Chain A
């Protein structure tokens, strides 16, 4: 494919976008829903055309999507993050109650300059001679992230999981006595009664599989093997769940084309 043709297609799609602005301006709110529907439908079809093979329309749409997404997140960041969290607090002095450092809201307010300085230092990566200064802001980000991660991951990934697992024997005893409250959604009580011990043993065996400091032999080896079985069932379940999620997205797009756009299906 020669460049002028590529450019022509790309510019054509952009012209379509620009034309849509003028339609909006000229026709007000009446025309826009159906015109927007047509644009959305064509964009959907262009992306789906990739299933046949890579083509200029798809490539153009792909590049439009990247450009639009980049600008969308830039706008989102400016008005939803930087303006309320940074500009309003530092310039307009709109601090929230309790926002103070060393007992002073003013210190808190002026301390907001520090991330701006660190952010500017990050931009030094563009200039090779002073690019090393960007390490300071990366260091601050890494340090803050690491310091936050240590207690938070220990709390969320380890403590909470162990607490939830230790609650299981109690739930199991309750389930044995036929209390339906601990079996949300289960019509078959036996499934629950089999599942709870499996969950307890499976978690321990799964952890044993990940413990490589001891050779996987003997009793430990059997436990680790059972652990890998549980892990494989977990991976299979996650895979099946992901397939269904993607298929439901595809069904959503097909329904959009057949129902919203072509009106072939009853609402």
Chain B
């Protein structure tokens, strides 16, 4: 019951979804399922928030080294959540925080998003430029033909995509476009077809209960 019922649910739901693709009269069910998925995902997200809070509260209560950072995470979560929720739930009391639905640009929520979260996320991704540069220094060694092809393609793409490359040698732009358009597309297409076959096979294995690691151990 505890293990076989979930397998049966997965099979029935899978068959119903395949049915919606082939039978037009199941369109209503398809539209319903499109609404189901985000709702279930919402609860899963809520579970994630609980896990996040439990993790940080545990560290703060135990006063593990660096617990101040955990407190910072909890406080910033609470501040952002409150400035987002309160003006919507109690507009009279917390209207001064700005209505993010009616006028997003004037809300504190949007202000925090635009001036704190976005710069930090953008800079965090920008930092990867340095790490990817050091990774390329290690990876780009012309040890054999395959590695040389990888190195040459990457260098041509990088040079061809900056104005300096065109200034040094004008055909670089055409060459980089050619690499992106032809050998790169050929590689991507071969990978996509392989991935598609793999995904369909895995989905079938999940539906038929051949792959059942998701059930976990025990009862």
Give chain B interface residues in 153-181, CB to chain A under 8 Å.
153-158, 161-162, 171, 174-175, 177-181
- Which of A178-214 touch B at CB < 8 Å? 185-188, 191, 194-196, 198-203, 205-207, 209-210
In B65-90, the 8 Å CB interface with A consists of: 65-81, 83-85, 88
Known: A67-B80, A70-B52, A198-B186. A36 touches B115 (CB 8 A): yes
Could you tell me if B28 and A101 are in contact, using CB atoms closer than 8 angstroms?
Answer: yes
B49 interface neighbour in A70, A151, A157, A205, Cβ under 8 Å: A70
Among B3, B37, B40, B197, point to the contact of A158 (Cβ < 8 A). Answer: B197
Chain B residues with CB below 8 A from A228, complex form: 146
Q: Does A222 contact B (CB under 8 A)?
A: no
- Quick check: is A219 within 8 A (CB to CB) of the other chain? no
Question: Which residues of chain B are within 8 angstroms of A203 by Cβ–Cβ distance?
Answer: 186, 189-190, 193
* B194 closest partner in A (C-beta): A210
On chain B, the residues within 8 Å of A75 by CB distance are 80-81, 84-85, 100, 109
Answer whether A241 and B122 are a contact pair too, CB < 8 Å, given A6-B68, A63-B70, A210-B194. no
Which residues of chain A are within 8 angstroms of B177 by Cβ–Cβ distance?
185-186
Cβ A243 vs Cβ B154 within 8 A: yes
Per the CB 8 Å criterion, the residue count for chain A at the interface is 146
Q: Are B28 and A99 in contact (CB under 8 A)?
A: yes
Which B residues are CB-close (under 8 A) to A239? Answer: 136, 139, 150, 154
Given known pairs A47-B123, A147-B16, A249-B129, the reply for A67 and B181 (CB within 8 Å) is no
Are B80 and A136 within 8 A (Cβ)?
A: no
Chain A residue nearest in CB terms to B35: A85
Closest to A211 in B: B194
Interface status of B63 (Cβ within 8 A of chain A): yes
Asked if A40 is at the interface (CB within 8 A of a chain B CB), the reply is: yes
Of the candidates B35, B178, B193, which one forms a contact with A195 in the assembled complex, judged by CB atoms under 8 Å apart? B178
A99 and B31 within 8 A (CB)? yes
Does A236 contact B153, Cβ atoms closer than 8 Å?
Answer: yes
Q: Does A77 lie within 8 Å of B154, measured CB to CB?
A: no
Q: A60: nearest residue on chain B (CB-CB)?
A: B72
A64 & B32 in contact (Cβ 8 Å cutoff): no
Q: How far is the CB of B24 from chain A (nearest CB, A)?
A: 12
Q: Judge whether B158 and A108 touch: CB under 8 Å.
A: no
Q: Which of A233-259 contact B (CB under 8 A)?
A: 233-244, 246-247, 249-250, 252-253, 256
Judge whether B93 is part of the interface by a CB distance below 8 angstroms: no
Which residues of B line the A interface, CB within 8 A?
A: 2-3, 5-7, 9-18, 20-22, 27-29, 31-33, 35-47, 49-50, 52, 63, 65-81, 83-85, 88, 96-97, 100-101, 106, 108-109, 111-130, 132-133, 136, 139, 145-147, 149-158, 161-162, 171, 174-175, 177-197, 199-200, 202-204, 206-207, 214-216, 219
Interchain residue pairs with CB less than 8 A apart (24): A6-B69, A36-B111, A48-B126, A67-B78, A68-B77, A72-B84, A74-B49, A75-B100, A119-B39, A122-B47, A132-B2, A140-B10, A143-B16, A143-B17, A143-B206, A147-B203, A149-B203, A151-B18, A157-B197, A187-B174, A202-B183, A203-B190, A234-B184, A236-B151
